[in-house]
């Protein structure tokens, strides 16, 4: 008879199998083995499992202890030092001539349509480039200069009203020179710098220019100009984008009394003069240009105008004869609008 193995709970189980077969107790917690020598070996699974787990933890802890930790990348480590940018120096704008005093302005010649001021510039001195701007004097007289240098001295004045007809004056801008307070602007003038025949030269420039302080004007943009195509005998209103809003054939001067060519000038005035009977009450568009070959005509310095004339045929003495409708169209453009005689 095999010995009886007693479980811790008091239950018994007959060991009727082989002498080394285990006997399981009722709660399944312990396993009892009988050896060939008849001695009992008892193992507790809970203890065995706990020992194995502890060993694993110890092994893991040792591994964690001996394994070097990976370096932690911080935001400071990721970022690199960014050099502070050096601010670019602000460019120093050149100075402009000092504002002329009232006494200085009063002593200068007035650049008006019958005046001759030798110091004024023409196309041989400057290359006018339409800036699509109109300059209106801020005061009764503004100074005009022969160059844009800071130490330039004024050579003439431009009035805020048109001489003899007393209408508000403005002029076209044909260039700019950078400087303080807006710099200097190249503007049209209504005067000559010499008369045809002076010095034995039968011709003279049709138009003149001068530099002026931008601060002495109110400068406004414009988007239209007048183009007189002498070769094609046409007059057109041209927008800045090149589109033409009005155009028609015109009657121009003759080789002896030519209409200006290759000349940049401006609308000096648009007015009605009942004394000029052939205009029949239609507007006269007075330009800043003069005849290049005639010193005087009709009691003035051979001014060039765009005006109505009842005879649709024939030639003019240098003026541009247009229809009544075109005079109305042109008179609606602001004074100071640029004109180009091609």
DSSP collapsed to 3 states, the chain: CCCEEECCCCCEEECCCCCCCCEECCCCCEEEEECCCCCEEEEEHHHHHHHHHHHHHHHHHHHHHHCCCCCCCCHHHHCCCCCCCCCCCCCCCCCCCCCCCHHHHHHCCECCCCCECCCCECCCCCCCCCCCEEEEECCCEEEEECCCCCCCCEEEEEECECCCCCCECCEEEEEEECCHHHCEEEEEECCECCCCCHHHCCCCCCCEEEEEEHHHEEEEECCEEEEEECCCCEEEEEECCCCEEEEEECECCCCCCCCCCCEEEEEEEEECCCCCHHHCCCCEEEEEEECCCCCCECCECCEEEEEECCCCCCCCCCCEEECHHHHHHHHCCCCCCEEEEC
Same domain? For 39 and 169 the reply is: no
Q: Select from 336, 298, 299, 341 the least CA-distant residue to 317.
A: 298
Same domain membership, residue 154 and residue 28 = no
Whether 181 and 325 map to the same domain: the answer is: yes
Residues 41 and 108 in one domain: no
Residues found in the chain: 342
Same domain, 10 and 142: no
Determine, yes or no, domain membership for 15: yes
Q: Do 148 and 18 share a domain, yes or no? A: no
pLDDT score recorded for residue 87 = 72
For residue 217, being part of any structural domain is answered with yes
- 231 found inside a domain: yes
The confidence score (pLDDT) of residue 79 equals: 52
Strand order in the sheet with 133-137: 154-159, 141-145, 208-213, 184-189, 171-177, 133-137, 217-221
Residue 88 pLDDT: 72
Predicted pLDDT of residue 7: 40
Q: Which residues of the chain have pLDDT under 50?
A: 1-68, 71, 76-77
In a domain? residue 81: no
Q: pTM to 2 decimals?
A: 0.74
Q: Please tell me whether residues 18 and 113 are part of one structural domain.
A: no
Whether 10 and 135 map to the same domain: the answer is no
CATH of residue 244: 2.40.440.10
pLDDT at 298: 80
Question: HSE-up of 201 (CA within 13 Å, CB side)?
Answer: 9
**Do 290 and 198 fall into the same domain?**
yes
Segment 48-82, tens digit of pLDDT = 434 444 444 334 443 434 444 554 555 544 555 66
149 and 27 housed in the same domain: no
Last residue of a domain, one of 46, 66, 81: 46
Q: What are 190-236's pLDDT values in tens digits?
A: 999 999 999 889 999 999 999 999 999 999 999 999 999 999 999 99
pLDDT at residue 58, as a whole number:
39
Domain span at residue 16 reads 1-46
Q: Is residue 238 one of the residues assigned to a domain?
A: yes
Distance CA 39, CA 20 (A): 10
pLDDT the model gives residue 22: 43
Please give the Cα distance from 340 to 227 (Å, whole number).
5
Residue 89 forms part of a structural domain? no
Residue 90 lies in a domain: no
Whether residue 13 contacts residue 7, with contact meaning beta carbons closer than 8 Å, is answered with yes
Overall domain count for the chain: 2
Instruction: Write down the pLDDT at residue 81.
Output: 62
290, 202: one domain: yes
d(CA 201, CA 194): 10
214 and 335 housed in the same domain: yes
Q: Which residues pair with 241 in a beta bridge?
A: none
Residue 53 resides in a domain: no
């Amino acid at each position: 008879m095999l010995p009886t193995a007693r479980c811790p709970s008091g239950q018994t189980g007959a060991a009727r199998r082989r002498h080394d077969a285990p006997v399981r107790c009722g709660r399944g917690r312990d396993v009892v083995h009988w050896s060939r020598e008849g001695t009992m070996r008892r193992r507790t699974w809970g203890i065995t499992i706990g020992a194995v787990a502890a060993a694993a933890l110890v092994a893991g802890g040792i591994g964690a202890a001996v394994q070097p930790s990976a370096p932690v990348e911080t935001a400071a480590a990721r970022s690199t030092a960014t050099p502070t940018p050096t601010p670019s120096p602000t460019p120093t704008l050149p100075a402009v001539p000092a504002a002329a005093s009232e006494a200085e302005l009063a002593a200068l010649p007035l650049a008006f349509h019958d005046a001759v001021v030798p110091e004024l510039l023409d196309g041989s001195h400057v290359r006018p480039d339409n800036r699509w701007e109109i300059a209106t004097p801020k005061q009764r007289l503004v100074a005009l200069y022969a160059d844009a240098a800071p130490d330039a001295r004024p050579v003439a004045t431009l009035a805020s009203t048109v001489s003899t007809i007393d209408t508000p004056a403005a002029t076209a801008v044909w260039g700019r020179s950078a400087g303080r307070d807006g710099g200097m602007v190249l503007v049209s003038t209504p005067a000559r710098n010499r008369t045809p025949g002076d010095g034995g030269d039968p011709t003279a420039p049709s138009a003149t220019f001068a530099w002026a302080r931008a601060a002495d004007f109110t400068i406004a943009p414009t988007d239209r100009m007048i183009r007189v195509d002498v070769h094609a005998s046409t007059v057109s209103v041209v927008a800045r984008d090149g589109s033409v809003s009005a155009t028609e054939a015109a009657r121009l001067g003759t080789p002896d009394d030519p209409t200006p060519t290759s000349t940049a000038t401006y609308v000096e005035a648009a007015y009605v003069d009942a004394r000029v009977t052939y205009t029949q009450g239609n507007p006269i568009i007075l330009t800043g240009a003069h005849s290049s070959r005639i010193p005087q005509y009709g009691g003035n310095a051979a001014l060039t105008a765009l005006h109505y004339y009842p005879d649709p045929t024939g030639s003019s003495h240098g003026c541009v004869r247009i229809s009544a409708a075109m005079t109305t169209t042109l008179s609606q453009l602001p004074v100071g609008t640029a004109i180009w005689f091609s």
